[in-house]
Amino acid sequence: MPSRLHDRRNPNIQWFDPPVALENGRARSSPWFFDPEEGRSLEPELWSVELGLALDRVASSRVGRAIVDCVRRRTTIYATHGGAYTDPDPFVDQAGVEIPNARLEAAMRDATTIGADALIGIDLIEPAVAQSGAEVWAPYLALLHELVHAVNITWGNYRVRAMFAPTEANRVGAPSPEEEMALLIDNIHRSERGLWIRRRYDSAGPLLRPGTIPRNRSMGIDVTRSEARVVSRCERRVPILAARLAALDRRTCPYNPFRDRGGGASAWP
């Protein structure tokens, strides 16, 4: 039996050691941690150590610490290989029993209203990518992004089913209001750390250099309207996170619409 571990800062965040993977809703010990073809491997007994390090790295920034602190219901992190995802968690405890559709529906409904438990799948094997000495992508950056979704799920602010029309998706660089918020907070964290800033949710198109403040000119999109929408919604639905982010000063976090646009957001369109 794998043992259950909890994040020491926020015990709502849990995982299993050795790692557990989800396949079609079934929990199973993960078989694919040795990948000789790609020349990368992560032994099962080291997965939990790597995840602990990734969580420490997330929480060692002010933005990341705010996100970790704001996960307010049980969030279980599973191992996956290739990509990352976050969903409302319909399981009463560790996954592995057949879940009726009604419970899946209830978990999704609660995630959009009163809050639900969350589950995250994360790939810790994928190597980090850097350009000119600054990170473009790393597993802990993916974890931070997924934890933003977990915050939304656990607060009842999850909106992955609401999709933007194609022109709006193209304009803001994200397919849904949910990803628009995750992308914005991801970029505030990148600003704190001096990493490359993302223009889009997908990896298409060039990134903005470390230290850049996203603007219409540099983004080619109406970033101001997108920021206003995210900040205003977060202030109403996850006020604790909005307040924590708004408190980060210019020296800590040069790009920070929660601080720069906070307070007056309700008057915006």
Chain residues binding Zn ion by CB under 5 A are 179, 182
* Residue 67 CB, nearest approach to Zn ion (Å): 13
Residue nearest to Zn ion (CB): 182
Nearer to Zn ion, 119 or 182 (CB): 182
* Residue 15 CB, nearest approach to Zn ion (Å): 19
Q: How far are the Cα atoms of 32, 118, 120, 215 from residue 188, in angstroms, in the given order? A: 34, 23, 21, 13
* Residue 186 CB, nearest approach to Zn ion (Å): 9
Nearer to Zn ion, 48 or 75 (CB): 75
Task: Tell me which amino acid residue 132 is.
Answer: S
Nearest to 229 by CA among 167, 193, 179, 189: 179
* Residue 148 CB, nearest approach to Zn ion (Å): 7
CA 33 vs. chain centroid, Å, equals 23
Nearer to Zn ion, 179 or 235 (CB): 179
Nearer to Zn ion, 175 or 262 (CB): 175
* Residue 182 CB, nearest approach to Zn ion (Å): 4
Beta carbons of 70 and 238 less than 8 angstroms apart: yes
Nearer to Zn ion, 198 or 244 (CB): 198
Nearest to 20 by CA among 91, 69, 106, 112: 91
* Residue 44 CB, nearest approach to Zn ion (Å): 26
* Residue 10 CB, nearest approach to Zn ion (Å): 20
